Structure 1
Amino acid sequence: MRKIKTILVGQSGGPTAAINASLAGVIRTAYSHNLRILGMRNGIQGFLEGRVADLTQALNLASSPNTAEQNFRLLRKTPSSWLGSCRFKLPKPDENPSFYQRITMRMNELGIDAILYIGGNDSMDTTDKLSRYFANTGIDVPVVGIPKTIDNDLEGTDHTPGFGSAARFVATVTAELTCDGGVYDIKNVTFIEAMGREAGWLTAAGALAGDICGTAPDFVLLPEVPLDEEVLLARIKARLAEKNNVVIVVSEGVHRADGSFLFDAGSIATDTFGHLAAQSGTAAYLAQLAKARLGVKSRGIELNTLQRCASHAASKVDLDEAEALGTAGVVASLQEETGVMVGIHRLSSKPYATEIRTVPVANVANKVKLIPAIMISDDGFNVTDEALRYLRPLVAAAEEPILGDGLPRFLDAL
């Protein structure tokens, strides 16, 4: 295998509050090995269109150790994807070899020796296809996936960077809204909508509000459990007979037994991977239903993209693990591993302990990790203590922001 001198790194899919921590880990580790570090602008799509940045120059790493360290720290704490992102589905290598020949030509022009791709399910599909094409055509370039997604639905890792910070935000906001909803002596129902197309991990994190304000959500509605609206209304009515303020955390992907969503899916376009491009409206629908059928004050609150970019609520554990996985990605490529994803293996929840392992990316791509039955209550309307034990270590610690004039500082846009 040829000596690695230049690595190419990209970010893809939905951004998170921790994805740049992984990028910081990649750049810091690669720079310490005297590697040339190039970044895809807007993922593999931008790379094909010629948009590539020299990250050593962009971060001014050669100027002084203090400047380099300050920029690494700022990058770690900056939300969203600093390199930009894309949702671009690669064709199958055997169906469109000319497409991959274009990629190879661009790589040869830039002298690329290894590729690291930071992303979720769809990004691991890209990692898998690139590595398989290179292996089948004798191209000696390692391809390594680095996980991220707030949905936490990626196989091959106990949890994904980005999830812990988003979960911390959802738990905190749920507790704050619980306090707010209890102000007036009237009957009211609050629906809080969290992201999650197929898996309800982020919605489950709302149950941690009980650790914050002493009152857990009354119901947690997951996409893993089909919803009967009539049963839900009956449960809400019974709970309102006992208390004034009912709080329900609901996943955007909750659906009925026939598979239909509560919102109008027919009016929403799909992306290149076949996913609904915008999936929201569940909380608003249920709020209107509760108001009409139960005659109580009701509101639907959609957290939307706030949960994936809320760096002010970032989990220190999440940022630490994201950066460590970036480092592990570089190490894996230097050790001649390819077609793998670096992932987190949990050794213990209390005390919390993990280790990083590599797994074949083919075992990860295009698969969805759902919440296991042991973490869902028997009636399907909440989560169990097993879920809380899983979640708590991921959100427990906060990281202080870098301040400038009393306000958080982010790294300037690339």
Structure 2
Amino acid sequence: MSGDSTVLVLNAGSSSLKYSLVDATSGKAFGSGLVERIGEGSGSLHHEGPAGRHEEDRSVDSHEDALRLALQAFEEHGPSLDDAGLIAVGHRVVHGGDRFSEPALVDDGLLATVEELVPLAPLHNPANLEGMRVALRLFPDVPHVAVFDTAFHQTLPPHAYTYAVPREWAEEHHIRRYGFHGTSVSFVVGRAAEMLGKPVEECRFVVMHLGNGASVTAVDGGCSVETSMGFTPLEGLVMGTRSGDVDPALPGHLNRHLGWDVVDVDRALNRDSGLKGLCGSNDFRTLLQKRAEGDEGADLAFDVYCHRLRKYVGSYYAVLGTVDALVFTGGVGEKSPEVRAAALAGLERLGIEVDEERNAAQSSAARDVATDDAEVRVLVVPTDEEWEIARQAAALAR
């Protein structure tokens, strides 16, 4: 391990702690793991180190217990953190509001600001805060850096982030488009520019992060200029359990005719909709299997998913005026040739044409699946958010 580029990356969820020891220069993960079911009475640890995979079930009462368990796993199963020469601890923080457009050193002021932003991300920011506070206690002599999912989208112009709602909503309650998946988009934009052999400042991309959560971002010169997720991650594409775009009058209709309150509607649109609502499963692999077996619900879900994606590709092409490459990333974006082909079918007039053989080839490498003479390249770029967090944390710590 290099003594001048090793970062411990932490991602604290409400009941989980994901961690990785990363070389910020090469992206190599020396060790990583996940502590699950924190505070639920029956936790578990999954650790990957030089000696292989280690798993154990044990009660984990708090995030502090979880991090101590992770540190014990490093000590017993490697690699040794004492020999790592940590230069920083990098923290994933979901929501930075309009306060953070760059990574920031974690101090009392930052913690207070992130706490103020809890109403914007009540399910995520409290866990992120707890992770930072615990790590500060256990690593008091190492710089801690917060990397925000929303930061990349702080370059959105006012006409893109402003909703057409009463102005006091924005001024008093911070109602605006924020966007998410920014850390992933930032990483793949850099890789895509390298693949084209051009400076990122000269590139225009439409980036599709497709996983259980999904978003599209228009990137001009390395800057986000439009993105599909909005005030929350619910807006935009059809996702695993999220509906994406629906008529804003729908909650009122459900309240009047079914007696549903705001909590009922919010739960349904976030947890019981999307692919799960259409075909019974939010797992894209299950959807494809059902579709292959002739399941009509799965077939419709696939068509709805790809139709929505195609609409966004076309609209973001219009926003940018010209596009150098479409970039697919995330679990579905990287692994589903069916989605890539269906979402881009019929767009030849826009210079977009997928090579059937290249697209169908199974590979985990970054690759171009467009035809040789296509004007717009179609890139598949595996994302690495841990590496991106490590790079940003190392740069600031240095």
The interval holding the TM-score normalised by the smaller chain is 0.3 to 0.5
Structure of higher RCO (CA pairs closer than 8 Å, 6+ residues apart): 1
Query: Please, what TM-score do these two structures have when normalized by structure 2?
Result: 0.32
